[in-house]
Amino acid sequence: MSAVQVWIVDLVLSPSQVDRCDAVLDAAERARADRFLRPADRARFRASHAALRLVLGDALGLAPADVELAAGAGGKPELAGPARGAADFNLSHSGARALIGLTRGAAIGVDVEAVRPIADALRIAAAHFAADEVTTLAGAPRSAVERRFFGLWTRKEAVVKALGSGLSLPLDRFSVSVPPEAPRLLRAVGDASWNLDGPWSLAEVDCGRDHVATVATRSAEAEITCHRLPDDWPDHLG
Ligand SMILES: CC(C)(COP(=O)(O)OP(=O)(O)OC[C@H]1O[C@@H](n2cnc3c(N)ncnc32)[C@H](O)[C@@H]1OP(=O)(O)O)[C@@H](O)C(=O)NCCC(=O)NCCS
């Protein structure tokens, strides 16, 4: 059984709060933030990375600025330095919301998506998802297709992100249950470059009406506790 913490973060901050976020980022994060053209995207990147440092620092007994991060083999961020291997985590952001998943000893992936109008959900699903997922989605009432599409997307993306291999896992080679069915991994075709064997736990995260989110862990069972950072969370960055 894995104990999993999921943190929901509001990314809409005042300019002074964004400055406080910036102060705890490392040089690589600042360089990435500077590459965003739109100030709102830049601010949300800074906010989500500062929130990740706050959550990780709290779990590890470190100041947010002292958390050392590096990219793993598939590009998945992981702890580096003295805290290397002390926790497994994953970050996702969409619109004004970020989601952080934190556990120990099990690979974890999280994905949050803002539910937004999408005219060609079934065409996108047919182009990228597994045939059984597309069939189930196509049977949904029209009014439910968008929310179920994004829910399905977060389930697949959370699995991909737990694996950490980025785009190398073809999304039509594994299937998950489609909302409103409870989330679970249904079928996977492995090959040498990626492997979905072994137990998985998938769970929906309630992020409010406008977002859908999933957490996936490579463990037989996961005890998930959901938390929300307080509105004044940037004041706790130190
Ligand atoms: C890396 C990837 C998994 C991120 O997904 P995304 O939905 O664009 O963005 P999210 O906000 O959920 O996640 C981004 C965060 O994931 C983390 N991340 C980066 N590379 C990762 C990897 N290989 N594995 C897991 N997490 C990763 C980072 O913390 C990143 O935050 P940052 O960009 O601010 O540094 C994505 O680019 C990808 O490769 N997706 C493949 C699957 C796909 O095409 N899905 C489409 C619909 S199902």
Give me the amino acid identity at 61. G
Interval between CA 170 and ligand 1 midpoint (Å): 14
Please report the pLDDT score of residue 190 as a whole number. Answer: 61
Please report the pLDDT score of residue 108 as a whole number. Answer: 97
Q: Which residues line ligand 1 (CB under 6 A)?
A: 45, 48, 74-77, 90-93, 109, 111, 153, 156-157, 160-161, 164, 166-167, 171
What distance in Å separates the CA atoms of residue 201 and residue 90, rounded to the nearest whole number?
A: 15
Element (H, E) at 51: helix 39-60
Residues contacting residue 235 through CB under 8 Å, at least 6 positions apart: 17, 20
Please report the pLDDT score of residue 36 as a whole number. Answer: 96
Phi, psi of 30 (to 5 degrees): -65, -40
ω into 141 cis (within 30 of 0):
no
Complete domains list, the chain, with CATH: 2-236 (3.90.470.20)
Please report the pLDDT score of residue 228 as a whole number. Answer: 97
Angle between helix 121-128 and 145-163 (nearest 10): 30
- For 132-152, the DSSP string reads HHHHHHHTS-GGGHHHHHHHH
Q: 């005042």: which residue's tokens?
A: 14
What distance in Å separates the CA atoms of residue 64 and residue 159, rounded to the nearest whole number?
A: 27
Residues of the chain with pLDDT under 70: 1, 167, 189-193
Specify the DSSP class assigned to residue 174. Answer: E
Atom number in ligand 1 closest to CA 29: 35
Please report the pLDDT score of residue 141 as a whole number. Answer: 95
Nearest to 205 by CA among 163, 133, 162, 155: 155
Burial 30-39 (b: 16+ CB within 10 A, else e): eeebeeeeee
Please report the pLDDT score of residue 167 as a whole number. Answer: 66
Q: Which of 9, 91, 116, 214 to mutate to test the pocket of ligand 1 (most atoms within 8 A of CB)?
A: 91
What distance in Å separates the CA atoms of residue 141 and residue 76, rounded to the nearest whole number?
A: 36
Interval between CA 114 and ligand 1 midpoint (Å): 15
Q: What distances in angstroms separate CA 77 from CA 8, 68, 165, one per listed residue?
A: 19, 10, 11
Mean pLDDT of the chain: 94
Interval between CA 93 and ligand 1 midpoint (Å): 9
Please report the pLDDT score of residue 30 as a whole number. Answer: 97
